[in-house]
Each structure stands twice: as structure tokens, then as C-alpha cells.
Amino acid sequence: MTIAQVISAPIRKVNIRQDLLAVADLIEICFAKTLDDDGREYLRQLRWTARDMNYLSWLQGAAERISTPLYGFVWEENNRIIGNLSLIPLNRGGRLVYLIANVAVHPDYRRRGIGRLLTQEALDHLRQRGIDMAWLQVRDDNPVAHHLYLSLGFIERARRTTWMSSSAAPINQLVPDGITIERRRMQDWDQQVAWLREIYPPEVKWNLSLNFSRLSPNPLKQFLRWLSGEPQAHWVARKGSKPVGYVSWEPMRASSDALWLATTADWEEQAVLSLLPYARAALAARGRSLSVNFPGGRANGAFLQAGYTHHQTLIWMSTKLT
């Protein structure tokens, strides 16, 4: 792209009253091969929002402050939106950070530097607002985007794989030799939460629907969850009297429920092979898929043997803006 083209780059802020349907169509075109049930539901909600004028009126002044993907920038040529970038404000430890998402360029307009210019525009905008950090996630099978973000100063913070229970795989409840599974006890909590902090460190936990306190066996919290109709289940795998792993189940509004797996690198394969098939069998009557977010590249064979399939691996990246 020439200097003149950069200077006249047709970038503008998203107009939520006019752009949402076109943005939804663009995202669908660009990510058609990787859209899952949650992605399709996201597009359905985006299109519903575009048609609700009362909601749009309220969002008009709030999009920059609430965690919605309705704030960002588009690239427009000949009255057609062919590029998009969303900025999602999130609270991380009491301070505001932004997640860059939905970076999409129409296939007919790629290799012109549009994605780079949209990202630069977003980063400059955040700097001007005094934001000191931006985050994004990129699939590990998208090396072009990964290289782009590295060249813009983003650094890799973590790789996380989402594993999904497979309805096609038989449930193998053969527990590894010497392992027993039982309900978690009150005295297990200190070890479980310590391992949870290892598997879900601060640089990834802040953007997950995981709350350590919510999983606590505290009797009062359990009673309040029961009153509010928020079920949970917790199991521990032991080798003799020694715990090798814990798994907690929580229902989610997304297309799958969450399993939070807590273990160590020494025991992770045995924990996966024992706890995850057990959870599949115990929760089968609910008819819901189960998802596990786990460090990328670890225990892959055990997950497959336990009846879980690789959904995606995301590279978490961040850059300091100050």
C-alpha cells in the first residue's frame, strides 16, 4: 500500500445504528470454516441487536464502557464494509484493558494491509484514551495473523486448547490402575485451588468464566448456589490416599458446560484418563457437551483417549501501550 493510500485509509468508528448487519455478514464470510455453535449464536445476537432500535439507543452511549463487541473500527470502500475490528472493554484486576477481536477482512480485499492498518488505528485510539494494555487471541492455525501481531509488538503470553467431549466416542470408564474416584471433600479444597491456580494463571483466568471462590466447598456458598438453582459437581481422583487431580463441573449459557481440571504436570495424564471419562458418564443424562480449557500441547493423547476432541488452540497475546 502506498503512502497516499495509508493517509487516505477509509477507516472510521463503528456506527452501531448502521453497521451491525454488515459487520455480522462480514464476520460470517471470513470465519465460515471455523464458526462453531457459540459463534453462530453470537452472529444471531448481533443481528437481533441491529434490529432492536430501543436497545441500540441505549448502547449508543455505552458501547465503549461495557463488555460488548459493538465498539471498534470498520474499513469502508464504495459504501461497503470490507474490514472490521472490535474492541471489547474488560476489567482485569480492577483496571480496564481491551480485547481486540473480530479482525476480519473480506477475502476479495486481502493482502492490502487492511488488517494491519485497522489494528494500528485501534492501538493508537487506546493510547489516546490512556489505556495501558491490549490483548487478543489468534488461532494457532492462522500463522499469517500471528506474524502480523508479532510485528506490531504483541508478545505471546499463553497457548490454550479447548477440548470438547465427543458424542461419537464411547465412554471408557476403565480407571487407570491404582486410581479411585470419589466426591471432593471439604479438606481437598486447599490442594484443588492451588492446582487450579497453576492450570489457570492470572494471564488467562481473567478472560475465562472461572471464579475460584464459586467452586469453594464453603457450606454457606453451597446453600446459596442451591437456592439460586446453580448446580455444581466436584470429583477427586486419588492414587491410594494421594490426590492426583480434581475436576469441577459448572453449567454454562454457552453451547457446552465447563469442566475445570486441576492437576500437576506429573499426574495430568492419569487425571485426564480417570476424571474426564467419569464426568462424561456422570453428566450424560443432561445431554450437553463438556469443554475443558487446558494449556496447549499438554496431555493431548490422554484427552483423545478419554473421548474428547480438539476444538481449537488459541494463542493469547498482549502488548503494552504506554
Per-residue pLDDT tens digits for 41-50:
989 988 888 8
Q: Give the separation between CA 203 and CA 74, rounded to whole angstroms.
A: 29
Residue 298 cell numbers, joined: 499438554
Which pLDDT score is estimated for 76? 95
Tens-place pLDDT, residues 241-293: 999 999 999 999 888 999 999 999 999 999 999 999 999 999 999 999 999 99
CA atoms within 13 Å, Cβ hemisphere of 18: 10
Q: Give the separation between CA 306 and CA 322, rounded to whole angstroms.
A: 45
Pick the CATH number of 162-313 from 3.90.550.10, 3.50.50.60, 2.60.120.560, 3.40.630.30: 3.40.630.30
Q: Do residues 201 and 295 make contact, with C-beta atoms less than 8 angstroms apart?
A: no
Domain residue ranges of the chain, discontinuous segments joined by +: 3-131, 162-313
Q: Do residues 187 and 246 make contact, with C-beta atoms less than 8 angstroms apart?
A: no
Crossing angle for the helix pair 143-151 and 114-128, nearest 10 degrees?
A: 40
Q: Do residues 230 and 238 make contact, with C-beta atoms less than 8 angstroms apart?
A: no
Which pLDDT score is estimated for 31? 93
| Domain covering 3-131: architecture | 3-Layer(aba) Sandwich (3.40)
List strand residue ranges (DSSP E) for the chain, in order: 11-13, 72-77, 80-92, 95-105, 133-139, 155-165, 179-183, 233-239, 242-250, 256-263, 289-295, 308-320
Residue 280 cell numbers, joined: 462424561
3-state secondary structure of 134: strand
Distances in Å between the Cα of 8 and the Cα atoms of 83, 108, 212, 270 are 15, 20, 49, 58
User: Other CB atoms closer than 10 Å to residue 57's CB: what's the count?
Assistant: 11
For cell 461419537, name the residue.
168
10-residue stretch averages of pLDDT, the chain, 322 residues long: 52 90 95 89 88 62 54 93 94 83 95 95 95 95 96 96 85 80 96 97 88 88 76 95 96 92 96 96 92 97 95 96 86
Predicted model pTM:
0.87
Distances in Å between the Cα of 186 and the Cα atoms of 105, 213, 237, 251 are 51, 14, 15, 21
Q: Give the separation between CA 22 and CA 16, rounded to whole angstroms.
A: 10
Residue 212 cell numbers, joined: 475460584
Closest by Cα among 157, 140, 245 to 201: 157
Q: Do residues 261 and 275 make contact, with C-beta atoms less than 8 angstroms apart?
A: yes
